[in-house]
Each structure stands twice: as C-alpha cells, then as structure tokens.
Amino acid sequence: MKKNFLSMAILAVVVSMSSCGGGSSFEGDVKKFGNMRCKAQQLAAKDQSDEKVKKELEDLQKEMETYGDEMSKKYEKDKDNKEMEAKADKIMKDIMDKCK
C-alpha cells in the first residue's frame, strides 16, 4: 500500500514537474526531486521490518509530497511545455540510471 502511494506520488510530481520551465532553477528542482526519488528507491529496497528504515521512508515520502506540491504550484503556468518536459525526463532518467 505504501509502495503504491509512493509510486503514485512520484508519478504525479514527476509529470507535473516534467512539464515545467524556468532554466537552471528548473533543472535544480528536477535534480532535487530525482535525488529524493533515488533515496526512496534505496530505502524501499531495504528491510521494511526495520523501524528506522520505515520511519525514514515515511519522512521522505512526506518531504517528497510537500516538495511536489510546491513545484506543481511554482511551474503551473508551464505545464504544457513539451521541451521542458523532455529536459526533465532526461535529467530524471540520468539520476535514476545512476541510482544504486
């Protein structure tokens, strides 16, 4: 259930962020979210019966949700910009490809 929530939250934020514009600030925002997503993936791969891991993942999910909401508002006017969407997708892919 929590894994599904995280996946849905990530998807919603990535879609909303990936359709955004704004230059290097935009790139930094996408990179920050990508790094959060990588950390969430790493935590999800750990032993979920470990309370410390569960707490850290829950805290990260809350942080990602808050950050995603902020970014959706920040880039709302640019949500149909296909060029920025492609740029965000590439940045996110690069980060996730390096995520171990």
Please tell me the predicted confidence (pLDDT) of residue 18.
Answer: 46
Task: Identify whether the C-beta of residue 17 lies closer than 8 Å to the C-beta of residue 29.
Answer: yes
Q: Is residue 88 part of a domain?
A: yes
DSSP summary character for residue 77: G
How many domains does the structure of the chain reveal?
Answer: 1
Q: Is residue 30 part of a domain?
A: yes
Q: Is residue 8 part of a domain?
A: yes
Q: Is residue 86 part of a domain?
A: yes
pLDDT (tens place) for every residue of the chain, 100 residues total: 455 455 445 545 555 444 444 457 999 999 999 999 999 999 999 988 999 999 999 999 999 999 999 998 998 888 888 998 899 999 999 999 999 8
Q: Is residue 19 part of a domain?
A: no
Q: Is residue 40 part of a domain?
A: yes
Tokens of 99: 């995520």
Q: Is residue 68 part of a domain?
A: yes
What range does the domain containing 73 cover?
A: 2-13+24-98
Q: Is residue 18 part of a domain?
A: no
Helix axes 24-44, 2-18, angle to 10 degrees: 170
Please tell me the predicted confidence (pLDDT) of residue 2.
Answer: 52
